[in-house]
Chains A and B, each alone.
Chain A
Amino acid sequence: MELDIFIVMLASPLVSGLLLTVAGEREWAPNLNIIASGGTFLAAVVLTIDIVAHGPRMAFGEMFFIDSLNVFLVTLTAFVGLTTSIFSGPYMKNEREHGKLSVRRLRLYKSMFQLFMFTMLVALTTNNLGILWVAMEAATLTTVLLVSLYRTPASLEAAWKYFILCGVGIAQALFGTILLYFAAERVLGETGNALLWTHLVEVKGQLEPTIMALSFIFLLVGYGTKVGLAPLHNWLPDAHAEGPTPVSAVLSGLLLNVALYAILRCKVLADGAVHEGYAGNLMMGFGLTTLVMAAFFLSRQKDIKRMFAYSSIEHMGIITFAFGMGGPVANFAGLLHMTLHSLTKSAIFFTVGHAAQKTGTQLMEGIRGLIRINPVIGWGLMLGTLAILGMPPFGVFASEFMILTHAMKYYPWATPILLAALGVAFASIFGKVQAMVFGETHAKPLPHAPAITPVFVHLSIVLMLGLYIPPYLTRWFHEAARMLG
């Protein structure tokens, strides 16, 4: 019975993805997309309730492992997947009416979207660090053709950059995995268990420190490429700006999280093997560099999706820094920030997509007076921006506040850098969004009414988490934070 729900969760995106490959242009295809995502989400919720009640468990022998850390990311992934598929229905129809996409490309979009969800769920739940690598690479492969969906010169360039940079990055992660396997095999023997996380975590103190130190650097840089950590972040703004908006929303809201999750799993092992603080210091360094770099690039952006892509890089920097500090409080804040960033950023991309569709441009100087064309979209963008910039009462304020106070207490030197970067980011984004929301406009209405519900569902959860975190959620976050050490 328990196993069934896990199979349902993995099978729903896989089967519907394959089905949409052959039947993606039918009338009911967009509905199937939503139903499949809904099924995945329901299965994830049931699985979560089960894990919260009965503790961690395995599936398929020792192939899959679900504990409180990954089950919360599974639910988040399934939830954002569901809202994105609801959003993409009318959005993609509008793109077709505008003549930007053919029926065949819509079919490609739907099937690849479901297969992408499948690879991410496998990456999150697998117990084998080698399969984790395989699933991360597969996630890149499913989205490359989505980034180039419009077949414009710019989108082809973005997809090529995405493929090559992530390919190079992921190759380094593979070398890191090989080194990790080498270190593990010396302790666990050649039984084939040496890449299973549950076995590794039991012997993490005995792993050879020299090899583990080298392995973690390769893993951090490799998976860090997909997180968008500097200096290998260049693919991210291009892929987000040139791909269709639903793809930007899931890349930003989900893929970055999953890549960061891979780093966290490896960090737990490196912490056990190498002296205290080695992995954490590396992550803090990468996080701060990324944050500062992104903050200063924000003010130079002209394209709205590019700007919010840089904002994703900025937030990934903050989260990496938080996990680098370690300890129950910083880990709690990091997990909370991960959740809030996914929800807020995907909501922002939904409104940005509709705004760009209405005004026919992604350039910010062309987008004006959203509040007059469609007050709901205008307010959605304004509230989303306030939320992502860390304004109270939204939840991002709470998590950023926790990260800042923790940094002040243990790493005071980092506080001015954090504050300056957050200030610069605030000034650059707020000024630009204000001009877009208010001001004069002559845009025409859209043929299909946009799906606005997902935006406000996301934003209300973010608002709620800022005012009140339900006790079971707190317990769950605490447990996950404790596991991270």
Chain B
Amino acid sequence: MSAAIPLSTQLINLCASVILLLAFAMLAQRRVMPLINLFAYQGLTLAASTLVVAFTTHQAHLYYSAGLTLGLKGILLPWILHRLVRRLYVKWDVESLINIPTTMLVGIGLVIIAFNVAQPISQLSHTISRGTLGIALATVMLAFLMMITRTKAIPQVVGFLAMENGLFLAATSATYGMPMVVELGIALDVLVGAIILGVFFFQIREQFDSLDIRHLERLKEH
């Protein structure tokens, strides 16, 4: 069986597994700067995987998507986040309150669920990258888990952006990507969202002297 799998599919699967591994690494990373770097690596791997799909299937618009991913998620967003972290002096922020082994175990459970959900869909797909749909859904769920477990604002946002990475992988693996106009719109939204969040971080810090969102727990039903 393994001999029958063409090189391109193997490369795509390799990229997808690296993306999943990086998602787990992000789940376990407590420091802010390395977390942003992991996010950048994930963006780069995603761009590489899209490029391989584009090259093998000769889909012209996938080259543009690969370029867009490289520019936005591999370079621009990590750069914005790096700048923010430096300007906000939270470079050495360490999160203490997360139980990493338990989180990892929950993460493994989520991966199994994701593969089960994706199974019937990948069977219907005819793309060369259909095997990676399960991994894409798993990446989305791991990013979601990261957003739940983190208590600092920047890691939550990195989780949010990683979720978008997973969704992008899902789009390329199931259908060779969305129509170009939609992809451009999504990229614009992500970029504007990141900029607005940057503004927002400064407002939070001005008010609370910290980016710990445990301060943001006053509005509750009593």
Contact = CB atoms under 8 A, between A and B. Distances in A.
Interface of A: 128, 130-131, 133-134, 137-138, 141, 144-145, 148, 151-154, 156-161, 163-164, 167-168, 171, 174-175, 177-179, 181-182, 185-186, 190, 192, 194-195, 208, 210-211, 214, 238, 241-242, 297, 300
* Chain B contact surface mostly: helix
A151 B207 contact: yes
B218 A154 contact: yes
Contacts of A300: 221-222
SS class of chain A's interface: helix, strand, loop or mixed? helix
20 contacts: A130-B185, A134-B188, A141-B196, A153-B215, A153-B216, A153-B218, A156-B207, A160-B200, A160-B204, A161-B219, A163-B197, A164-B147, A171-B140, A171-B163, A174-B186, A178-B178, A181-B171, A182-B125, A182-B174, A210-B124
A178 B170 contact: yes
Interface of B: 117, 120-121, 124-125, 137, 140, 144, 147, 153, 156, 160, 163-164, 167, 170-171, 174-176, 178-182, 185-186, 188-189, 192-193, 196-197, 199-200, 203-204, 206-208, 213, 215-219, 221-222
Contact of B182 (A128, A156, A157, A210): A128
Candidate in A154, A156, A161 with the most chain B CB atoms within 10 angstroms: A156
B175 A178 contact: yes
B193 A141 contact: yes
Given A131-B185, A154-B219, A168 B121 contact: no
A446 B222 CA distance: 33
Nearest to B157: A164
A159 B124 contact: no
A212 B215 CA distance: 41
Contacts of B192: 138, 141
B214 to A, nearest CB: 11
A138 B189 contact: yes
Contacts of A214: 117, 121
Contact of B121 (A156, A179, A185, A192): A179
A133 B70 CA distance: 23
Contacts of B140: 171, 175
B218 to A, nearest CB: 6
Contact of A157 (B164, B206, B218): B218
